[in-house]
Amino acid sequence: MPSFFKKKSSSYNKKTGQEKKKEYSSSPLSAVLEENIEYIKTQTGNSTDIVIRSFKHSPRFNTKSAIVYLKGLTDSQTVQELLIEPLMKSNPAESDPISMEDMIEGYLPLGNMEQIKDWNALFPALMSGHTIIFVDGYSVAISSATEGGEKRAVEEPRTQRAIRGSKEGFTESIETNISLVRRIIQNPSLWTETMTIGRVTKTKVTIMYLKGIARDDIIEELRKRLEKIDIDGVLESGFLEQYIEDQSISAFPTLYHSERPDAVAGNLLEGRFALFVNGTPFVLLGPVVFVQFFQSIEDYTERFYISTALRFLRVLVFFISLIGPATYIAATTFHQEMIPTQLLIAIAAQRESVPFPSFVEALIMEVTFEILREAGIRMPEAIGSAISIVGALVIGQAAVQAGVVSPAMVIIVAITAISSFATPSFSIAISARLLRFLFMISAATFGFFGMILGFIILVVHLCSLRSFGVPYMSPLAPFIPADLNDTFVRGPLWADRKRPAFISGSNNVRQSESTGRPQPEQSSEMVTDQEGDQQ
C-alpha cells in the first residue's frame, strides 16, 4: 500500500562501482614459481582444500612446474588424466624446453584454456574450480576449466509440479540450468550474459533472453539494475529479486520465479528475460503481470475449456484465501440479514457458547493455523505426521468441544487454508496470506463497507505496480483486448496470434495468420463413401 509515496529516496546505491574492482592486489604474476606459490598460500591463508602439486616437466631441463586447484570443486579425474599425466610424461628429445605456448597448443587436451597474467583474474578462476598451471620462468599461468565435483542431479521440480509436461527441474548448478533451457530453445538468438555479483561470494549470474523478441530497453534496464547491486553475498535468486524489483515494499511479487525449464522457455518466447543465479534452482523471470501468477504450465497442454475453468477456479481460490474469514466476520457481526434464516440459526446456535467475538475467534483460529503451517514446514519429516494429528485434534475437535471456537469457524479456516495451497504460485499465495489479516481487521471494523474500502485500496495499489515498466495489471488495466486470450481465460492456442503487447516489443507476431483454426479440408462426402465409389 505505501506506493502512495512516489518520491523515492534516490541516494540508494549511488556510490557503487568505484571500489568494486579493488580487491586482491592488481599486481601481475611473478616469473618465479616459488614466489607465486607463496603468494597463493598467504592470500588463501594456507587453506587445506587448496591442492598445490609441484613437479618437473621436461626433466632434462629441470623445469619446475606446479598445478593448483581446489579439492571438491574440480573434477579430479580430469586433472589427473588430462593435465598431470601429459605434463609429466612429456619427455621430448628435442633440445628446447617446452614453452608455455607449446603446452597449450600441443600437450594439454583440454577444451577451455586461457592464459592469465594477473592475480586479479587468477583467484576468481581458481575459486570457481579451474586448475591453474604455473611454470617456472613465466609470469603467465594457464587456467584450464576443470569444474566438477558433487552436484545434485536433474530431478522433477518439487514446487511446481505438472501432470503433463517435462519432468525436468532446475538444479543448483548454473551451467546445468542454462543447458536445460538451451536444449528446449535451440536457436542462436538465445543470448546469455554472465556477470558476477556479490563482493564476497562472487556469485555467477546469467541473463538469458531471446534477441529480437525481448525488448532491448528492458534488458538494458535489467543490466543497469544488476550492475548497481553491491552486496557481499547472493545466496539465492530471491536476494537479487529484492534489489531489482520496481516496487520493493509491495506485498505482491513483481518478478516470477520458476524451477521448470519449460516454463522459462515459454516465458522467453513471450519476450521475457530469465535470470539464472548460481546455487539455486529458482530462476527469475520478468517482466511479469498479475494474471501470470494464476497460470500453470499445463494450462497450455490441456483443452482450453478445461484450462479456462481451472484458471477461474484459481482466481476463486485466491479470493477465498484473501477474504474468506473476513467475509465470515463481516456477515456474522454486521450483516446478519444477508445470511439465509436457516443458516443463520445454525451459526447462531454454534456461536451461543463461544466466549469471543467472531473477530477474535477468527484471529485465534487463523493464527493457530499459521503456527501449525509454519511448524509443519520446519518439522523433520519423521515428526511431520504428528503435526497433522495435533492440528486435526486441537483445532478440529478439541477446540470445538471445549466451546472455544465454533465449528463454522473451523470450516472457514479449513477452506481458507486449502485455498491458499491451491494457488499455483507460492509467492502470490503468501501475499494473500498476509493481506487476509488486514481484510479481517477491516471487516471487523466496518463490515462489508470496510472490506470494500480495502479492496479499493488493493486494486489501486495493484494498478500502480510496474514490473520493469510493464503495468502489473495489464492486459486488464490498461485494457488490451488482443491479449485477453491468455489471461484468466485461456483461448485456443491457434487464436493466440500475438505475444503480450508490453512485454515483447515490435516483434510480437507469434504465429502466421495462415495458421488459423486447424480443420480438415472441406469435402462434401465422407471418406468411406469415396472409397466405396472407387470400387
Partner 1 sequence: MKRRIGIFLMVCLQLLLLTGCWSKKELNDLALVSAVGLDLNKQGKYVGTFQFVNPGNVTGSFQGGGGGQGNAVSVYSATGDNIDEISRRMATKVSRNLYYAHANLVVISDKLAKKKGVLPILDAFDRDATFRNTATVVIAHDAKAADLIKTLTAIDKLPANKVIKLLRFSERVWGASLNIMMIDVIKDLTDDGKQPLISGFNLKGSSSTGEKVSNIMQSTPQAAPVVDGLALFKHGKLVGWIDGKKARGAVWTLNKIKKTEININKKGRKEAIALEVIRQNTSISTSVKNRTAQLNVRVETEGNIGETKVPVNLKDPHVIADLEKGFEKQVKSEIKAAIKEAQAKKTDIFGFGDAVHRSQPETWKRISKNWDEDYFAKANVKVKVDVFVRRTGLRNNSFLSGAK
Told to check if 516 binds partner 1 by CB under 8 A, we report no
Phi, psi dihedrals of residue 365, rounded to the nearest 5°: -65, -45
Q: Say whether residue 186 binds partner 1 (CB under 8 A).
A: no
**Closer by beta carbon to partner 1, 296 or else 358:** 358
Position 173, amino acid: S
Q: Which stretch binds partner 1 (CB under 8 A): 3-11, 142-150, 413-421, 476-484?
A: 3-11
In Å, how far are 18, 20, 29, 143 from 26, measured between CA atoms?
15, 13, 9, 17
Please name which of 160, 172, 156, 155 lies closest in space to residue 429, comparing C-alpha atoms.
160
Among 149, 357, 376, 396, binds partner 1 (CB under 8 A): 357
CA–CA separation, 302 vs 307, rounded Å?
6
Quote the least distance from Cβ 160 to partner 1, whole Å. Answer: 36
- Which region, judged by CB under 8 A, interacts with partner 1, from 165-173, 350-358, 378-386, 495-503? 350-358
Cis check: omega of the bond before 157, within 30 degrees of 0: no
Nearer to partner 1, 199 or 351 (CB): 351
d(C-alpha 425, C-alpha 159), whole Å: 9
Nearer to partner 1 (CB atom), residue 54 or residue 350? 350
10 part of the interface to partner 1, by CB under 8 A = no
Q: Which of 170, 282, 359, 468 binds partner 1 (CB under 8 A)?
A: 359
- Nearer to partner 1 by Cβ, of 24 and 449: the residue is 449
Closest distance to partner 1 from the beta carbon of 112 (Å): 50
Choosing from 232, 352, 381, 513, the residue that interacts with partner 1 (CB under 8 A) is 352
**Cα dihedral 28, 32, 34, 40 in deg (nearest 10):** 10
The one among 44, 78, 166, 445 contacting partner 1 by CB under 8 A: 445
444 is a contact residue toward partner 1 (CB under 8 A): yes
Q: What does the per-residue mask of binding to partner 1 show for 371-400, with x meaning CB under 8 A?
A: -----------------------------x
Question: What is the distance between the alpha carbons of residues 277 and 284, in angstroms, rounded to a whole number?
Answer: 8
> Which single residue is written with the C-alpha cell 633440445?
95
Per rule CB under 8 A, is residue 150 in the interface with partner 1?
Answer: no
319 to 348, contacts with partner 1 by CB under 8 A?
332-334, 336-337, 341, 344-348
Integer CA distances (angstroms), 212 to 54, 107, 190, 496, in order: 50, 42, 9, 19
* CB of residue 423 to partner 1, shortest distance in Å: 27
Question: Is residue 364 part of the contact set for partner 1 (CB under 8 A)?
Answer: no
Residue 250 is a binding residue for partner 1 (CB under 8 A): no
Binding piece for partner 1, criterion CB under 8 A, among 161-169, 303-311, 314-322, 349-357: 349-357
Burial letters for 448-479: b for 16+ Cβ neighbours within 10 Å, e otherwise?
bebbeebeeebeebbbbbbbbebbbbbbbeee
Q: With CB under 8 A as the rule, give the number of residues binding partner 1.
A: 35
Q: How far is the CB of 341 from partner 1 (least distance, A)?
A: 5
- Angle formed by the axes of helices 304-333 and 407-422, to 10°? 150
- The total number of residues shown for the chain amounts to 535
As a whole number of angstroms, the distance between CA 441 and CA 450 comes to 9
Q: Would you count residue 251 as binding partner 1 (CB under 8 A)?
A: no
| CA dist 349 → 279, 360, 403 (Å) | 55, 18, 12
Contact 3, 464 (CB under 8 A): yes
| Only segment of 218-226, 227-235, 355-363, 474-482 that touches partner 1 (CB under 8 A) | 355-363
| Least Å from the CB of residue 412 to partner 1 | 14
| CA pair distance 221, 97, nearest whole angstrom | 52
With CB under 8 A as the contact rule, which of the stretches 34-42, 87-95, 237-245, 445-453 interacts with partner 1? Answer: 445-453
Q: Among 37-45, 158-166, 308-316, 357-365, which window interacts with partner 1 (CB under 8 A)?
A: 357-365
Q: Looking at the DSSP assignment, which residues form a beta bridge with residue 151?
A: none
* Minimal distance, residue 452 CB to partner 1, in Å: 14
Alpha-carbon distance 480 to 370, whole Å? Answer: 39
11 belongs to the binding site for partner 1 (CB under 8 A): no
Regarding beta strands 283-286 and 273-277, do their DSSP bridges make them parallel or antiparallel, or are they unpaired? antiparallel
Residues in contact with partner 1 by CB under 8 A are: 2, 4-5, 7, 9, 332-334, 336-337, 341, 344-354, 357-359, 400-401, 403, 407, 441-442, 444-447
